[in-house]
Amino acid sequence: MTTSVSASDVPGPAPSAAEWLDRGYADDHNATAASDTLLINEQSRLLETQGRRITKFGFGQSPFPVFPPAVETLAEHAADKAYLPVQGMAALREQVAAFHRHLEGTDWRAERVLIAPGSKLLLFALMKALPRAEVLIPAPAWVSYAPQARLAGQPAVRLETSFDSRWLVTPAQLDRHCREHGPSLRLLILNAPGNPTGLSYEPEMQRELAAVAKRHGVLVLSDEIYGPLHHRGEHRPFALDYPEGTLTTSGLSKWCGAGGWRLGVLNVPEALGDALLTRLLGLASETWSSVASPVQAAAITAYSVTPALEAYLEAQRQWLSAIGRWCAQRLEAAGIRTHAPDGGFYLFPDFSAYREILRARGIATSAELTARLLEEAGIALLPGSAFGCESTQLTARLAYVDFDGGALLERDYPDDLESAMAVP
C-alpha cells in the first residue's frame, strides 16, 4: 500500500522557507563567513565618512592603472556579445602560453590552458576536480585556500611556517609530513611571491622542495598571480623545477591591475594526462560557461609581449621594489622586524618586540592590534590571524598600495631609487 503525505497531513503549521533555511544552516559545516579583509575595508570606509584620513594598507588591490592598450581593446569590443568556448578563446590561450614561455621560460601550451573569471575560481575548480586529495596549506597563507578546500569537501592540513623560515614551507617539513602520514593524493599549495608575506623561494631551496614533492608524488598548485611583479631578481616558476606535477595559476588581476575584469588562467601540465583537464572543462561548462567576450579580447592585447608591455611591467616592479624596501626599512628602524619583499605588494611585519608594551595597553592578539592601529592611528592593516597565524602572534599584513600608481608610471624613476627612497 502506498501512502502519500500532503502538507495538510502534517500537524501544526509547516515551517516557513526561512525556518527551513535556519534549520539547514544550523548543522552545515560548509559555512563560510565574510572575510576579515572585507571587514577592515568596511571599517576604513566608515571612518572616512566621519572625516578621518585613513592610510589604506589593508586591501590587496593593485595601485597601478590597467595596461592602457588593453583598455582601448576593451572599449573597441564593448559590443561583443557571443558566448565564447568554455576553455577560452583559442587566440587568447595561444597568447597566454606564449607570454609565460617568453617571460618565464616555462612550457605552457595553449591546448592545456584554461581561462576562467578569476584565478580564484580556478583554484576552487581544481580542488573540486580532484579525487579526495589532502590539501596542504602552508600557514600563513592567502585567506581563501582553506575555505575553498572545505567547500570542495577536501581535507585540509596546515603546514606551520615561521619568521625564521621566511614564512616558507621547507623541503624537510614536506618530507616529514609525507612520511608520517603515509601515501595519499596530496595537493600542496604554493604562492610565491606570496600573499601575505611578499616572499619567494631561493632557487636552490625551490629545487629541493620540488625534488621532495616529486619523490612523494605530491601535486603542486603554484599560485603565481604575483609572478610578473617579482621585483628582487627574477621570478622562478615552480614548473621549471617540477614540470610534470605543477599546476600553475595566474591572471590579469595583479600585474595588469585589472582585478575587477575577472580573468584568470591555469596551465595543466601535459604529463598529467587528459582526465583532470576534462573534469575541469566539465565543471567550467556547468558553472561559469566562459569569461566575458570583451574581456577576453582585451586580454589578448594584455598578454601580447611588446616593448610597451615590458616597460609597463618593469616600471611597476621598480616602484614596488623601492616602496617595499623603504617601508621595510622604516619598520625595522622602529624595532618591528620584517623581511624585505621579493615581489608583489605585501610585507608581513612581526610586532612581537612590542608585546609587553602592547599588553599593558590591553592588546594581546593580532586582531586587537590592527583594530587599535585603525582606531588610534588611522592605519588599516590586516591581522596575521586572518591568514592562519596564531592569534597571539603579533603579525599583520601591510599592503603597500596606498599611492597613486598612475602618477608614478607617468614619472621617470629617479636614477638612484635607493637614495630617493632612503630612510631620512
Residues that bind ligand PMP (CB under 6 A): 60, 118-120, 142, 191, 195, 223, 225, 251, 253, 259, 264
**Is the Cβ–Cβ distance between 398 and 383 less than 8 Å?**
no
Is the CB of 171 or the CB of 344 nearer to ligand PMP? 344
What is the gyration radius of the CA atoms in the chain, in angstroms?
23
Q: Report, in Å, the least distance between residue 255 CB and ligand PMP.
A: 11
Nearer to ligand PMP, 71 or 417 (CB): 71
Nearest approach in angstroms of CB 1 to ligand PMP is: 56
Give the nearer residue to ligand PMP in terms of CB position, either 146 or 358.
146
Cα separation of 179 and 208, whole Å? 16
Determine phi and psi for 116, rounding to 5 degrees.
-145, 165
Q: Which of 353, 356, 354, 381 is nearest to 367 (CA)?
A: 381
194 or 363: whose CB is closer to ligand PMP?
194
Rounded Cα distance between 142 and 195, Å, is 5
Residue 331: closest CA among 310, 355, 347: 347
Q: Which residue's CB is nearer to ligand PMP, number 294 or number 368?
A: 294
Q: How far is the CB of 402 from ligand PMP (least distance, A)?
A: 16
Question: CB nearest ligand PMP: which residue?
Answer: 118
Please identify which residue in the block is written with the cell numbers 607617468: 410
Which residue lies nearer to ligand PMP by CB, 173 or 197? Answer: 197
Least Cβ distance, residue 221 to ligand PMP (angstroms): 10
Q: Give 303 or 421: the residue with its C-beta nearer to ligand PMP.
A: 303
**CA dist., res. 349 & res. 356, Å (int):** 17
Which position has the grid cell 628602524? 333
CA distance 235 to 105: 10
In 154-228, DSSP assigns E strands to: 156-160, 186-190, 219-223
CA distance 374 to 151: 32
CB of 330 to ligand PMP, least distance (A): 23
Distances (CA, A) of 300 to 77, 83, 266, 284, 335: 12, 17, 15, 20, 46
Rounded least distance, CB 228 to ligand PMP, Å: 13
Q: Give the shortest CB-62-to-ligand PMP separation in angstroms.
A: 10
